[in-house]
Amino acid sequence: MIQAEGLTKYYGPQPAIQDVSFEVAEGEIVAFLGPNGAGKTTTMRILTGYLPATFGAAQVAGFDVADQSLQARRSIGYMPEGAALYNDMRVRQYLRYCGQLHHMGKAQIAERIEYVGDRCGLDGEIDSIIGTLSRGYRQRVSLAQAMLHNPPVLILDEPTVGLDPNQIIEVRNLIKSLAGDHTVMLSTHILPEAQMTCERVMIINKGQIVAVDRPETLTAQLRQAETILIRVQQDSEVIPRMLRDIDQVAEVHPGESIGSYYVDTEVGSDLRAQLAEFIVHKGWGLLELRPVEMSLEDVFRELTTEEKDVT
């Protein structure tokens, strides 16, 4: 549904992005992550037709964003960062105006306003003046206008900025519910949000894509092992050595507390039952045994500081 091939954008002699290539499948939700200045906004502006690429090409819903700009833009609902809205308009008036810009009929506009108002939690504020709304409600209005014309592709730039925790959960659930009906590409600096909302992540650093995959796959590739935390009651200096002798155990590291250890096992192995049986048999007193995974924040930090290539 979204295809980018070799996208490059120069501002004077300085490249903002270089040779950016990726694909987003129909109905997929993908997070676009990167440090400030990494090229996220530049890439999104090229996809939405706000900015021309210096080199490369992109297609949205089968339309070239440069040569078929009008058709491509009709296929996109764009929510820019900061919720740029007309403060003197009422919500319903603004959404009606947006529908007219999309050449929608009156009946269709009325129907879609009711739909997006309900989905975005705007029922109680649909006739309020936008300038009087809280930041959270302004974000909802911006999301509603992106969804209004029922586009196949939604591009959302920081969709939960300014929302309180309850509103974040509501918007996150809304975005997840769009999977299948819409293809969603969103940028966010809240890494747990990306992990909970999106099926895949794309990480950009210094203008180049450094990773595209599912969070758990990136974790396994970077760690090159799967880790299990164990904690025993009867600690002993022989425990690490004896655990290392177990087949498919790669390494054992001491944990943060007495009697705890991180056991690195080969990728694809699941030694939890075997480790539990071994510890019980040795009489060490098993207190805790659980898998430990790198968070998306760990993956992000490692990729954007060392620029390891796991694409």
243, pLDDT greater than 90: yes
- What is the distance between the alpha carbons of residues 58 and 47, in angstroms, rounded to a whole number? 7
DSSP-assigned letter for residue 22: E
Domain boundaries, the chain: 2-219, 224-293
pLDDT at 55: 95
260, pLDDT greater than 70: yes
**One-letter amino acid for residue 82 of the chain:** G
23, pLDDT greater than 90: yes
224, pLDDT greater than 80: no
**One-letter amino acid for residue 38 of the chain:** A
pLDDT in tens, 141-154: 999 999 999 999 99
DSSP-assigned letter for residue 148: T
Q: What is the dihedral of CA 67, 143, 158, 130, to 10 degrees?
A: 120
Identify the burial level of 78 via C-beta atoms within 10 angstroms of its C-beta, where 0-12 means exposed, 13-18 middle and 19 or more buried: buried
- What is the distance between the alpha carbons of residues 94 and 311, in angstroms, rounded to a whole number? 42
Buried b (16+ CB within 10 A) or exposed e, 159-184: bbbebeeebbebbbebbeebeeebbb
Whole-number average pLDDT of the chain: 88
- What is the distance between the alpha carbons of residues 8 and 217, in angstroms, rounded to a whole number? 27
310, pLDDT greater than 90: no
Task: Please measure the distance between the N-terminal and C-terminal CA atoms of the chain and give it in whole angstroms.
Answer: 20
pLDDT at 306: 53
- What is the distance between the alpha carbons of residues 272 and 257, in angstroms, rounded to a whole number? 20
pLDDT in tens, 275-289: 999 999 999 999 999
Mean predicted confidence (pLDDT) in 190-203: 81
Q: How many residues does the chain have?
A: 311
- 77 closest CA partner among 207, 186, 212, 206: 186
Structure tokens at 282: 């040795």
Mean predicted confidence (pLDDT) in 23-31: 93
- What is the distance between the alpha carbons of residues 296 and 218, in angstroms, rounded to a whole number? 9
100, pLDDT greater than 70: yes
Structure tokens at 112: 């879609």
Rank 95-104, 129-138, 169-178 by mean pLDDT and report only the highest.
95-104
Mean predicted confidence (pLDDT) in 262-281: 89
Q: What share of the chain has pLDDT > 90, as a percent?
A: 56
CATH number of 224-293: 3.30.70.100
pLDDT at 196: 79
- 296 closest CA partner among 229, 228, 218, 227: 218
107 CB neighbour count, 10 Å cutoff = 8
Residues 6+ apart with CB under 8 A from 142: 79, 80, 83, 84, 85
Q: Determine phi and psi for 305, rounding to 5 degrees.
A: -105, -30
51, pLDDT greater than 70: yes
pLDDT at 225: 63
- What is the distance between the alpha carbons of residues 311 and 305, in angstroms, rounded to a whole number? 16
pLDDT at 307: 47
- What is the distance between the alpha carbons of residues 158 and 174, in angstroms, rounded to a whole number? 14
Structure tokens at 17: 């992005």
Mean predicted confidence (pLDDT) in 70-91: 90
CATH number of 2-219: 3.40.50.300
- What is the distance between the alpha carbons of residues 288 and 261, in angstroms, rounded to a whole number? 10
